[in-house]
């Protein structure tokens, strides 16, 4: 087989990509007259050296795990779900409706109920593009991205006209009742003497995200449905020949994907804001694509990539707080990492592959 060893594919390629992105970012920072070493140190200190920094890193990572898994599941069926953003928005609507209109007795029952509601809302939002792809051949990339805009407009309408409390200026719902508020890391890990994760938004949904990593792994590699999804992804004609229905797999894979994306809203809506605000998704649906690409659509890879992006987000916030690096440049740095790890993946992989093959031939 003309392949490089698995460890090189899974570890070396992302590492080199990251290094390239880091070098370019450093040049950008030097270009505006700041010190890249100090900036990097500040990011590490702010994101990883304090427990509240970890609280933010893990909070962002939770979002990216959900959306990354969503994209990864669709990838296995060779479907490119760009609609994570919209599915998460509608998932947020599901969370808000469940939290506001059902009198939950306590948070864990509420979490279970809201999870189901978020997943159903997210999945239903993915259903129409999935149906159009499966039955009518409308390209899923086009339809899912269009549905992001429709979701934003729908959410806008619902928040402004239906769910906004009387007299409030923010386009947001009322605060969720006490019983639905999820325990944060601060509640869980602080002792009487030391406050851990003070004020950080990381909450119990992080563990739900970890659990979903395991569930997705089980689904893709240990179930008949997962096998069918992968077979369909490798070759549609072969899958058809084996008696796998393309319509069913397309729709089921997209429903699972949409459900996972919808569950992301649990973290931002129920865990952090405790009300539904307009831009609750904060672009996590799109970051999920980069996370899935970088994680090679494997749940473990998605988890690690999500942690990296969580670090970048939190580190970026620290940069904005304590340096004069403008926020636009912080976005540039984040974009460089996405560019190198996601879009330009092959730029590193191909030469590396050649290098490995050449060394093997010599041996």
Q: What part of residues 289-318 is at the interface with other proteins (CB under 8 A)?
A: 316-318
Residues 6+ apart with CB under 8 A from 279: none
- Residue ranges of alpha helices (H) inside the chain are 6-7, 13-31, 36-48, 51-76, 84-101, 107-131, 140-157, 185-189, 205-222, 224-234, 236-241, 246-265, 284-294, 299-322, 327-338, 345-362
Q: In the bound complex, what is the minimum distance in angstroms from residue 199's beta carbon to other proteins?
A: 5
β-pair partners for 184: 203
Query: Virtual CA dihedral for 88, 308, 20, 71, nearest 10 degrees?
Result: -30
Residue 178 makes contact with other proteins by CB under 8 A: no
Query: By CB under 8 A, how many residues form the interface with other proteins?
Result: 46
Question: Are the C-beta atoms of 34 and 178 separated by less than 8 Å?
Answer: no
Q: Which of 219, 244, 320, 335 binds other proteins (CB under 8 A)?
A: 320
Query: In which residue are the tokens 């970088």 written?
Result: 294
Q: In the bound complex, what is the minimum distance in angstroms from residue 25's beta carbon to other proteins?
A: 17
Residue 162 makes contact with other proteins by CB under 8 A: no
Residue 323 makes contact with other proteins by CB under 8 A: yes
Residue 126 makes contact with other proteins by CB under 8 A: no
Residue 56 makes contact with other proteins by CB under 8 A: yes
12-20, 42-50, 76-84, 91-99 -> range binding other proteins (CB under 8 A): 42-50
Binding mask 326-345 for other proteins (x = CB under 8 A): xx--xx--------------
Q: Which of 19, 30, 32, 160 binds other proteins (CB under 8 A)?
A: 160
46-54, 103-111, 122-130, 227-235 -> range binding other proteins (CB under 8 A): 46-54
Binding mask 240-279 for other proteins (x = CB under 8 A): ----------------------------x---xx-x-xxx
Query: In which residue are the tokens 């994101």 written?
Result: 47
Residue 41 makes contact with other proteins by CB under 8 A: yes
What does residue 277 show for φ and ψ, rounded to 5 degrees?
-105, 170
β-pair partners for 203: 184
Q: In the bound complex, what is the minimum distance in angstroms from residue 218's beta carbon to other proteins?
A: 31
Max Cα distance, the chain (Å): 76
Q: Which of 5, 199, 346, 355 binds other proteins (CB under 8 A)?
A: 199
For residue 172, the tally of other CB atoms under 10 A from its CB is 19
Which candidate, 146, 24, 21, places its Cα nearest to that of 83? 146
Residue 170 makes contact with other proteins by CB under 8 A: yes
Residue 188 makes contact with other proteins by CB under 8 A: no
Q: In the bound complex, what is the minimum distance in angstroms from residue 57's beta carbon to other proteins?
A: 12
37-45, 90-98, 246-254, 288-296 -> range binding other proteins (CB under 8 A): 37-45
Here the contacts of 352-357 (C-beta below 8 Å, separation 24 or greater) are 352/4, 352/8, 352/12, 352/13, 352/16, 353/3, 353/4, 356/4, 356/5, 356/8, 357/2, 357/4
Which residues contact other proteins (rule: CB under 8 A)? Answer: 38, 41-42, 45-46, 49-53, 56, 59-60, 156, 160, 167, 169-171, 175, 194, 196, 198-199, 201, 268, 272-273, 275, 277-280, 282-283, 316-318, 320-323, 326-327, 330-331
């Amino acid at each position: 087989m003309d392949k490089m060893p698995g460890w090189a594919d899974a570890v070396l390629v992302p590492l080199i990509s990251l290094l390239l992105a880091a070098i370019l970012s450093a040049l950008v920072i030097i270009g505006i007259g700041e010190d890249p070493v100090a900036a990097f140190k500040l990011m590490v200190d702010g994101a990883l050296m304090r427990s509240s920094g970890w609280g933010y890193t893990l909070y962002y990572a939770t979002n990216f795990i959900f959306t990354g898994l969503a994209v990864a599941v669709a990838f296995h069926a060779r479907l490119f779900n760009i609609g994570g953003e919209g599915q998460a928005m509608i998932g947020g609507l599901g969370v808000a409706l469940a939290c506001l209109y059902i009198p939950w007795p306590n948070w864990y029952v509420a979490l279970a109920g809201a999870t189901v509601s978020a997943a159903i809302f997210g999945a239903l939002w993915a259903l129409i593009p999935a149906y159009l792809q499966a039955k009518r051949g409308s390209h899923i990339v086009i339809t899912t991205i269009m549905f992001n805009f429709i979701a934003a407009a729908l959410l806008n309408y619902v928040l402004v006209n239906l769910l906004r409390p009387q007299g409030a200026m923010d386009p947001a719902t009322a605060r969720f009742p006490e019983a639905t508020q999820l325990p944060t890391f601060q509640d869980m890990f602080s002792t009487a003497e030391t406050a851990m994760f003070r004020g950080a938004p990381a909450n119990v949904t992080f563990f739900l995200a970890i659990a979903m990593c395991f569930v997705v792994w089980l689904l893709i590699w240990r179930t008949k449905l997962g096998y069918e999804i992968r077979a369909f992804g490798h070759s549609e004609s072969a899958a058809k020949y084996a008696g796998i229905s393309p319509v069913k797999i397309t729709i089921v894979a997209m429903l699972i994907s949409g459900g996972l994306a919808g569950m992301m809203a649990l973290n931002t809506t129920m865990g952090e804001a405790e009300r539904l605000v307009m831009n609750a998704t904060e672009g996590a649906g799109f970051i999920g694509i980069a996370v899935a690409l970088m994680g090679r659509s494997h749940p473990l890879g998605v988890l690690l990539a999500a942690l990296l992006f969580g670090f970048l987000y939190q580190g970026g916030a620290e940069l904005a707080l304590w340096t004069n690096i403008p926020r636009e440049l912080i976005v540039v740095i984040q974009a460089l990492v996405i560019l190198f790890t996601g879009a330009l993946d092959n730029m590193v992989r191909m030469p590396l592959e050649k290098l490995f093959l050449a060394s093997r031939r010599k041996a």
